[in-house]
Structure 1
Amino acid sequence: MDEILNNSEIQTRGHHRDDEGDEEAAAAGAGADGGATAPLLAGVAPLGYSGRRRSHAGDLHVLSAAFLFIFSAYCAAQNLQSSVNTEGDLGTVSMGILYTSFTLFAVTASPVVTWLGSKRALVVGTSGYVIFILANLVPTWYTMVPASLYLGFSASIIWVGQGTYLTSAALSHARDNNLPEGQTLGNFNGEFWGMFASTQVIGNLISLALLRDGKDGGSVTGKNLLFVVFLGCMIVGIVLMCLLSKRDEKGNTAPTHSSFGAMMKYIVAPLKDRRMILIIPLIAYSGLQAAFVWAVFTKNIVTPVLGVSGVGGAMAIYGAADAVCALVAGRLTSGLHSATSIVSVGAILHAVVLFCPMGGLLGAAVPLFIGALWGVGDGVLHTQLSALLGLLFEDVKEAAFAQWRVWQSGAIAVIFFLSPNITLQAMLILMAIALIISFGSFLLLTLVVEKPSTTRSNQFQSGANFTVHLLHQCYQQPKQHILYARAIRNQKEMKYLSVDE
């Protein structure tokens, strides 16, 4: 071993001189910049130095606040479509058209977001939500259908941009602060989805305050005032979106897709990974369960018991449970094992709602109780899906989040088109079957990911043992410190998926 190290010493002396030269050049470059960066390289920042590095947590707060304002308006408006725009099922059909459009455009959203950049994609995406709110002030087939079609396009852009932006911020924060990536993704997604779930509370409380049931079964009053208030919320959200830092890890250096075939190859790349195939059923179920609440729960469970004006109150409870659960689930996320446990809790609660008859037991409390349980499950699904996609598909995150929106929005469209044509009992059976299939597929995913990660962990441990041996040799021969430094660097560059950090 000593003989090998002696030969390595001869080979590394030249590299050592090159490294020293690079350090001297870096120091000279710092001086050429006026000495602004030299103190940072030494680990000491000068007094009053502000620097250019982004505040990753700050971007998260601004992003969450922007979505809070925009979707407080949109989610409440969406909840009311099947109850307010009832003539010819205009509201329900419009939502079905919206999510069909969303599904089609989400297929090509990833290259669009890559071309625009995630920040500009977020800003452009807000336009469709404003147009949709304006259309609800004059709800006809000529206003709602075009607005729904365009919102499908802009929604695909904003949501792929959101997933890309949030993942980039979380991973950058983890690397800059030497934090575990899985836990950081969980924390960032927990805060975002907790804030996002709060939109159901805020928007629906506004709806509860402004809407009034008409006398003798007449149309509700206060609808136009409500949508004007929603429009004001949208404007505040757009202003906040414009304040985000530009954050594009690939940025202008990303390769352009020279042909349609190359673009499609990039889009479908995640589908060649069996991990994506196994997570798609859970993605689809997340869309089914969300649309069930918006279209079926509000119309067939809440409205008959509490009236149209009571939709806001029931959905506010749903949103509060969703928000609390998202925050807690995000904090508890550290890897695939923890995600499995958290998703299992959500699946059990949804099963309770779907399989247990509660009407005779709880009476008028049914909508409130179901809303709370369903909100917990929704908070679980969104935080865990977002964190896992960011962790498992970091290299193709735009395409991965596009796949999320394709399958989720397609499932949502199915519910909106089916709900006027099938009974509540048939819908519950459909949801129960989807829950069983999606949860079973997710459990299989944990087995698929766990097996290769265990092998990589063993390989990593062998590398760590070799590094300890090199350290021992370096203490005996101090001139071999370069070998140790490079071994440490190579060890850090070894990437493997931790099942539970």
Structure 2
Amino acid sequence: MAQVTLNDKLGFVDSSRSELPPRKPPSMKKPFRQSLVVSFSFMFVFAAYLSIQNLQSSLNHEQGLGVTSLACLYGAIILSGTLSPSVIRLIGAKRSLVLAWICHILYTATNFYPHWLTLIPSSILLGFSSGPMWTSQGLYLTSCGEAYAFDQGKSLYGILSTLNSIFFTCYESTDLFGNIISSVILTRSSYNETFFNSSRTCGALSSPDVSSNATMAVTDPVKHIVYTLLSVFLVFDIAGLALTAVYLKPLEKRGEVEDRKGLLQSVVSCFTALKDIRLLLVIPLFMATAMSQGILFTAYTKSYISCALGIYNVGYIMASHGLVTAITALLMGRVAKYTGRIVQLVVAVALNMGMLLMMLFWNPLNQPYAMFFIIPVGYGMSEGILRMQFNSFIGMVFFKAADSAFANYHTWNAVAFTLTFTAGMFLTLTTLLYIAIGLMALGFTGYIITELLIRKQTTSETRVP
């Protein structure tokens, strides 16, 4: 087997060479097809979920039910993320996905009658299923990548980048057709959009409760239109469940997770992984990108789009985010073997920071319609790179404890989302944006230090005779 070089570790891969994966791959038939099953099942389910998420802060705005439900959902993910390794050892990766899709069906169903006694419990239940779901996704793609790289005799980094780019192309395309479906259906409803208070404030200066700013009389669409939209999304959820249950094969247990640990030990193992300084240093970057997404999905859709243009424009504008993210993930996955992860992550962080600064200083009132697409498009380009590269980075750097590393990734993402949604109910958007900018700068610094540590470790290893 050829020696793994510094360039391979850092993601600067020589395309003329074919490195085999550095460990024995799992036994898996047709790994590429299995990765497609995972990708398309997520595409169906998240077409429903992400579209509902984008509308929660505007559609269920009374008493902050929509944002509160999202805070409860991501709060539950924090706990479920730490328990993910144990849950997967107990029931397996495939059953974890099936259980998650059932919870998504229940969540969509409770949106037919959004109430504190229906939406909050289903949000918490969905959150508890999300940690094992995302950890299972990471394990499936990593295992498929190992098996496929071994079969093809190609670089593991290149294969993981390709599979992750395909997955996130499918995943992010949900923003495109999911949001278009929601806007097309909601446009059929009648609204009272003529009432605007002359003193309304939109954008970064809006208060935590936009309606108290005398923003716009956000009129809910008529019930039967909402029911039609939710029925379409319910069909998507069922399709994702059927695809996973019928076509996805159970994942062979990885050597490092064969022992069945208790729940307490699972939590301990999740946090024990933080002893690896490399993981600890990149957590702020994970949280910063999640916080930025939380601001986009709630504050931008409500304080910019709904405030200045009306709720039915949310889907049309946010669809651009999904389209650009999907295209970016696909293209960047193809060129990753030439650019490496460092170059791509630098570009992605710069884009993310630029969009945060634009939201901070831009007043959306009386602006051209095309201007509202800039921020979703910029975020889309950044997210398309970051999601793909984060998954590849974790799968390669922390492969000896992949389940705990992926669990940490999604747990800290959930922490950032929860803090963002909760703080958004009390802090001004300006304050929230300053926090996100500071966290992004801290996270990027930590990532650069991590890459230097990897370079130092790899250099020392190559010197050993």
Which structure would you say has the larger Rg?
Answer: 1
Kindly indicate whether the alpha-carbon contact (under 8 Å) linking 2:83 and 2:263 is maintained by their aligned counterparts in 1: no
Q: How far is 1:61 from its partner?
A: 1.1
Structure-2 change in CA distance of 1:378 and 1:53 (3 Å): closer
The 5 A counterparts of 1:29-428 are: 54-212=29-187, 214-217=190-193, 218-221=219-222, 222-242=225-245, 243-250=247-254, 254-257=258-261, 259=262, 262-334=265-337, 338-356=340-358, 357-359=361-363, 363-428=368-433
The letter of the residue matching 2:351 is L
Structure-2 change in CA distance of 1:241 and 1:345 (3 Å): same
The letter of the residue matching 1:368 is F
**Structure 1 gaps, min length 5:** 1-51, 463-501
Q: How far is 1:340 from its partner?
A: 1.4
The letter of the residue matching 1:340 is I
Per-residue CA distance 1:368-419 (angstroms, 9 max, x = gap): 1111001111111111110000001112111111101110011001111111
Distance 2:147 2:429 in 1: 46
Per-residue CA distance 1:80-108 (angstroms, 9 max, x = gap): 00000011110000100110011112111
Distance 2:336 2:168 in 1: 13
Structure-2 change in CA distance of 1:421 and 1:363 (3 Å): farther
Q: How far is 1:458 from its partner?
A: 3.7
Kindly indicate whether the alpha-carbon contact (under 8 Å) linking 1:127 and 1:154 is maintained by their aligned counterparts in 2: no
Per-residue CA distance 1:298-332 (angstroms, 9 max, x = gap): 11111123210000011100111111111122223
Kindly indicate whether the alpha-carbon contact (under 8 Å) linking 1:80 and 1:311 is maintained by their aligned counterparts in 2: yes
Q: How far is 1:154 from its partner?
A: 1.1
Identical-residue share of aligned pairs (%) = 27
Q: How far is 1:363 from its partner?
A: 3.6
Q: How far is 1:260 from its partner?
A: 5.3
* Greater helix share, structure number: 1
The letter of the residue matching 2:422 is F
SS of residue in 2 equivalent to 1:280: helix
Kindly indicate whether the alpha-carbon contact (under 8 Å) linking 2:256 and 2:401 is maintained by their aligned counterparts in 1: no
- Which TM-score applies when normalising by structure 2? 0.84
Kindly indicate whether the alpha-carbon contact (under 8 Å) linking 2:28 and 2:144 is maintained by their aligned counterparts in 1: no
The letter of the residue matching 1:248 is E
Per-residue CA distance 1:7-28 (angstroms, 9 max, x = gap): xxxxxxxxxxxxxxxxxxxxxx
Structure-2 change in CA distance of 1:162 and 1:95 (3 Å): same
Kindly indicate whether the alpha-carbon contact (under 8 Å) linking 1:168 and 1:249 is maintained by their aligned counterparts in 2: no
Name the structure, 1 or 2, with higher relative contact order (CA <8 Å, separation 6+): 2
| Most deviating of 419-428 and 157-166 | 419-428
- Which TM-score applies when normalising by structure 1? 0.78
Distance 2:257 2:231 in 1: 42
Kindly indicate whether the alpha-carbon contact (under 8 Å) linking 2:292 and 2:356 is maintained by their aligned counterparts in 1: no
Distance 1:397 1:56 in 2: 18
Kindly indicate whether the alpha-carbon contact (under 8 Å) linking 2:288 and 2:440 is maintained by their aligned counterparts in 1: yes
Q: How far is 1:53 from its partner?
A: 5.4
The CA RMSD over aligned residues, in Å, is 2.0
Structure-2 change in CA distance of 1:264 and 1:142 (3 Å): closer
**Structure 2 gaps, min length 5:** 1-26, 194-218
Kindly indicate whether the alpha-carbon contact (under 8 Å) linking 2:84 and 2:266 is maintained by their aligned counterparts in 1: no
Distance 1:78 1:61 in 2: 25
Structure-2 change in CA distance of 1:260 and 1:435 (3 Å): closer
The 5 A counterparts of 1:466-477 are: none
Distance 1:358 1:433 in 2: 19
Kindly indicate whether the alpha-carbon contact (under 8 Å) linking 2:256 and 2:400 is maintained by their aligned counterparts in 1: no
Q: Counterpart of 2:203?
A: none
Distance 2:44 2:141 in 1: 17
Q: How far is 1:251 from its partner?
A: 7.9
Kindly indicate whether the alpha-carbon contact (under 8 Å) linking 2:289 and 2:440 is maintained by their aligned counterparts in 1: no
SS of residue in 1 equivalent to 2:29: coil
Q: How far is 1:362 from its partner?
A: 5.5
